[in-house]
């Protein structure tokens, strides 16, 4: 397929594009202002606005905005050329905003939703290559993840799927980051220990499994939030454990979430312990793992642990 031009790409409707990435608006105001929890960072209150009439966005949390090209570069961390390549393989088409189409109403067209079609053992070559870029061994990924086929705008896609407690999936591949409904936490537990390790995303959880795979007495209770918006929901669950080990991100939202959880102690010293200093200088545990020299990663595979 011929690569899109910048001019054509900028005509792709940003609301539809965000849906294709798994992001739905929290509310619509003035008929054309769509508000989201920012896809570019974690936040609890929607402050990322897309004006559908102008087809531009503005992130009030960072004070930055722009068109679809600007957003795509920030979202994927890629060049314009790389982004145009991704968009060229998409089923999205240039779109002219028409306010007569009830812009304030949610689309109910089934083709605009993520629909899970099938899950199976991870084996797709492109997904295995993506796992390799994240430095996650296949045996660990297969223990906790599946290869998931899903429909998006009626087009079949395949991603690594991490299941949550309500049956929805966090979906990731090289060019896609999204989730199917319902969105929820993922709790993996056998209750054999009184400690619970808490992660923001599942690649951090998988990284932890690699780092601790040979530990003599590993933790066996894990909570993956899948989104900081579910932090408050996780509080009652955390209360059921004596010790909470926090491995949240080190960006602004992650640090704020960690501080919020630490305030839940209410005098119970050492119930909540922040372990993010282990990957100081990196956004999260997986970023730290990816930065490690091969010999350091090998040391964790063969005995060293966190």
CATH code of the domain covering residue 99? 3.90.580.10
Backbone phi, psi, residue 102, to 5°: 50, 60
Q: Which two tokens stand for residue 242?
A: 């004596």
**By residue range, what is the domain housing residue 215?**
186-301
Q: Is the separation of the CB atoms in 187 and 240 below 8 Å?
A: no
Q: Which two tokens stand for residue 156?
A: 């079949």
pLDDT score, position 107: 39
pLDDT score, position 35: 93
Same domain, 80 and 131: no
In 3-state terms, the chain is what percent helix, strand and coil (to 5)? 35, 25, 45
Same domain, 214 and 289: yes
Distances (CA, A) of 278 to 26, 213, 244: 35, 17, 16
Same domain, 32 and 16: yes
Same domain, 194 and 131: no
Q: Of the candidates 179, 205, 230, which is a domain's last residue? A: 179
Distances (CA, A) of 262 to 39, 111, 231, 235, 267: 26, 42, 12, 11, 10
Residue 136 has pLDDT above 70, yes or no: yes
Q: Which two tokens stand for residue 102?
A: 């009830």
Same domain, 227 and 293: yes
Q: Is residue 129 part of a domain?
A: yes
pLDDT score, position 277: 94
Q: Is residue 1 part of a domain?
A: no
Q: Is residue 306 part of a domain?
A: no
Same domain, 25 and 91: yes
Q: How large is the angle between the packed helices 294-301 and 202-211, nearest 10 degrees?
A: 70
d(CA 16, CA 12): 8
Same domain, 263 and 157: no
Looking at the structure of the chain, the number of domains it has is 3
Residue 103 has pLDDT above 70, yes or no: no
* Banded model confidence at residue 178, pLDDT cuts 50, 70, 90: confident
d(CA 304, CA 306): 7
Residue 182 preceded by cis peptide, ω within 30? yes
Question: Which residue has better confidence, 301 or 65?
Answer: 65
Closest CA to 183 of 151, 226, 236: 226
Q: Is residue 58 part of a domain?
A: yes
Average pLDDT over residues 273-293: 92
pLDDT score, position 106: 40
Same domain, 190 and 296: yes
Same domain, 243 and 192: yes
Q: Is residue 104 part of a domain?
A: yes
Same domain, 27 and 90: yes
Q: Of the candidates 108, 142, 166, which is a domain's last residue? A: 108
Residue 110 has pLDDT above 80, yes or no: no
Q: What is the DSSP letter of 94?
A: B
Rg (CA), the chain: 20
Question: Which residue has better confidence, 29 or 147?
Answer: 147
Distances (CA, A) of 81 to 71, 86, 158: 14, 9, 23
d(CA 4, CA 163): 34
Same domain, 194 and 294: yes
d(CA 202, CA 227): 10
Q: Is residue 26 part of a domain?
A: yes
CATH code of the domain covering residue 244? 3.40.1360.10
Residues 6 or more apart whose CB falls under 8 angstroms from that of 263 comprise none
Whole-structure pTM value: 0.66
pLDDT score, position 256: 92
Q: Which of 103-117, 160-174, 238-252 has the lowest mean pLDDT?
A: 103-117
- Counts of helices then strands in the chain (DSSP H, E): 11, 15
Backbone phi, psi, residue 250, to 5°: -105, 15
Same domain, 58 and 16: yes
């Amino acid at each position: 397929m011929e690569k899109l031009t910048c001019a054509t790409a900028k005509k792709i409707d940003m609301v539809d594009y965000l849906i294709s990435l798994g992001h739905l608006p929290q509310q619509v105001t003035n008929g054309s202002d769509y508000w989201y929890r920012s896809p570019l960072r974690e936040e609890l209150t929607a402050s990322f606005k897309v004006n559908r009439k102008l087809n531009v966005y503005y992130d009030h949390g960072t004070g930055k905005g722009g068109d679809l090209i600007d957003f795509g570069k920030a979202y994927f961390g890629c060049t314009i050329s790389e982004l145009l390549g991704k968009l060229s393989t998409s089923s999205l088409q240039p779109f002219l905003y028409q306010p007569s189409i009830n812009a304030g109403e949610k689309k109910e067209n089934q083709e605009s939703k993520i629909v899970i079609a099938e899950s199976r053992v991870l084996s797709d070559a492109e997904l295995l290559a993506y796992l390799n870029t994240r430095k996650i061994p296949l045996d660990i990924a297969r223990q906790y993840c599946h290869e998931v086929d899903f429909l998006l705008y009626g087009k079949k896609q395949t991603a690594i799927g991490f299941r949550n407690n309500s049956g929805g999936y966090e979906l990731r591949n090289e060019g896609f980051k999204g989730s199917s409904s319902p969105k929820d936490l993922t709790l993996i537990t056998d209750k054999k220990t009184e400690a619970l390790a808490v992660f923001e995303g599942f690649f951090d959880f998988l990284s932890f499994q690699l780092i601790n795979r040979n530990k003599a007495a590993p933790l066996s209770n894990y909570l993956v939030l899948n989104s900081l918006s579910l932090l408050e929901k996780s509080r009652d669950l955390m209360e059921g454990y004596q010790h909470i080990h926090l491995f949240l991100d080190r960006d602004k939202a992650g640090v704020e979430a960690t501080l919020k959880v630490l305030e839940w102690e209410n005098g119970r010293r050492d119930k909540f312990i922040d372990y993010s200093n282990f990957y100081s200088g990196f956004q999260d545990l997986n970023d730290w793992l990816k930065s490690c020299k091969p010999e350091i990663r090998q040391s964790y595979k063969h005995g060293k642990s966190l």
